[in-house]
Amino acid sequence: MLRPLTIGLLLCGTVWGQAPAAAPSATNTSITAAPMSLAEAALTAIQNHPDLKIAQAQIDQAQAALRTATAPFYPNLRGSSSFNYSEAQNAGVGGQAVVRPGGVRNYQVGIAASQLLTDFGRTSSAVDAAAQNKLASEWQKGDAVQTLLLRVSESYFTVLRTHLDVDINTDNVRNAEVQVARARGFFEAGTRAKIEVTRAEADLATARVGLIKAQNDKQKAMAAFLTSLGGNANGGEVNLQVSGLEPPPWNREETITKAKESRPDLLAAFARVKAAEARLRNAEAQYYPSFNANYSYAWSEATFLPTPFNWGVGVTMSVPLINEPTLSAGVQSAEAQRVQAEGNQELLALQVQLQAVESWINLQESRARLEASRSAVKFNEENYRLASERYNVGVGSSLEVSDAQRLLIQARSQEVQARFDVQLAIARLYRQAGSLTLEALLPAKTQ
């Protein structure tokens, strides 16, 4: 018989609320001491992955743009200094030209200040647009975090699945070797034909090919997992904790509502609509005048340091009289951008709704497949046992044993795939509902 895979029973118990089976021994799997949990892996990715560094830089850039937009609210103070030297030739008495000796020097030092009084919403709308863009950047970082957590979850469970695939194919090779030994014994005893040995050796070669592929898939899965953490893909193997995720208690309607309220990318799209509306108000405000208060104080004299001074205080008004088609085209462009932002938000809302529904349905389907695959494993284990016993007593054929072993390997592989499909479906459901957090990645509670 093929060896039972106790590592899989532990995962099943945590997913479905059953008592977990005994933990696998060191000889049964390479996942042994000091395992890394999924939450720890996710935290490592958050700390190291460059995707989040890029997202934070975009927030910082939006913050700088917001500070720039608020600049007109503050007074503007400027200092100036100048030096001029000039000479001139003047007409003298009786039409004779007289050259003035030397030149004229002039020193000037001054300060000037200005303060915006009102521009009828031009600056405030620019600040609103910049603030909404910053908010959108923050939501986009939240979306990047959840995308990264999903990537880590997928690669994490893929590593666990490939470990089990290696165990299954190792058992397949071991049982194929036993079948070869039995066939040779029967052939040497003269009770079986040579074709029995040949078929058993062919099955052994096929089993070894399957094991090589499973080992290769395991190495690729580990490289993908390390890359998802933001580390070196050639960093070797990492011990992973075998656990499952707690499925959310949402029904179909609750899943849709959760997605509409919590998806960071959708919230970012709403913020972009608000920013586009603020830019439209800014474009319309370009038609209105702006008022600024001005103050200046200056010293000017032919000697340094200058002592005579002058000062001035005033209010200036700037109003566009004829500036077409620049202003009207600006309003038209801003309106088109607003409509485009609204369309993008509405389209994304439809996509979010569809993704949430599909994720919820996929979880139900993966659970049903898991139950069916468990039954298939049970039936194929009994079929393999009966075929082996029939062959041992000389009633069955090696073809029956070969087919039974192949079907059992397929059933166990499908059961492992279905088990981890449930885990992936849970992670994806959290992601599509905008609720994939470190807390959601904690191991499922056992009962």
346 has pLDDT over 50: yes
Domain ranges of the chain: 6-82+107-441
Reading the block at residue 336, the tokens are 């088109």
100 has pLDDT over 70: no
**SS3 per residue for the chain:** CCCCCHHHHHHHHHHHCCCCCCCCCCCCCCCCCCCECHHHHHHHHHHHCHHHHHHHHHHHHHHHHHHHHCHHHCCEEEEEEEEEEECCEEECHHHCEEECCCCEEEEEEEEEEEEEEECCCHHHHHHHHHHHHHHHHHHHHHHHHHHHHHHHHHHHHHHHHHHHHHHHHHHHHHHHHHHHHHHHHHHHCCCCCHHHHHHHHHHHHHHHHHHHHHHHHHHHHHHHHHHHCCCCCCCCCCCECCCCECCCCCCHHHHHHHHHHHCHHHHHHHHHHHHHHHHHHHHHHCCCCEEEEEEEEEEEECCCCCCCEEEEEEEEEECCCCCCCHHHHHHHHHHHHHHHHHHHHHHHHHHHHHHHHHHHHHHHHHHHHHHHHHHHHHHHHHHHHHHHHHHHCCCCCHHHHHHHHHHHHHHHHHHHHHHHHHHHHHHHHHHHCCCCCCHHHCECCCC
pLDDT tens readout for residues 7-55: 333 333 333 333 333 333 333 434 444 689 999 999 999 999 999 999 9
Q: Which amino acid is at 334?
A: A
pLDDT tens readout for residues 187-197: 988 888 899 89
290-296 average pLDDT score: 92
pLDDT tens readout for residues 261-289: 999 999 999 999 999 999 999 999 999 99
332 has pLDDT over 90: yes
Rg (the chain; Cα; Å) = 39
311 has pLDDT over 70: yes
Q: Which of 8-22, 232-246, 341-355 has the lowest mean pLDDT?
A: 8-22
Instruction: Tell me what pLDDT residue 394 has.
Output: 80
Instruction: Tell me what pLDDT residue 306 has.
Output: 66
What integer best gives the mean pLDDT of the chain? 87
Confidence of residue 97 (pLDDT cuts 50, 70, 90): low
The Cα–Cα gap between 212 and 207 comes to: 9
Domain 6-82+107-441 annotated CATH 3.30.70.3270: no
136-154 average pLDDT score: 97
Instruction: Tell me what pLDDT residue 24 has.
Output: 34
The Cα–Cα gap between 369 and 377 comes to: 12
Instruction: Tell me what pLDDT residue 447 has.
Output: 32
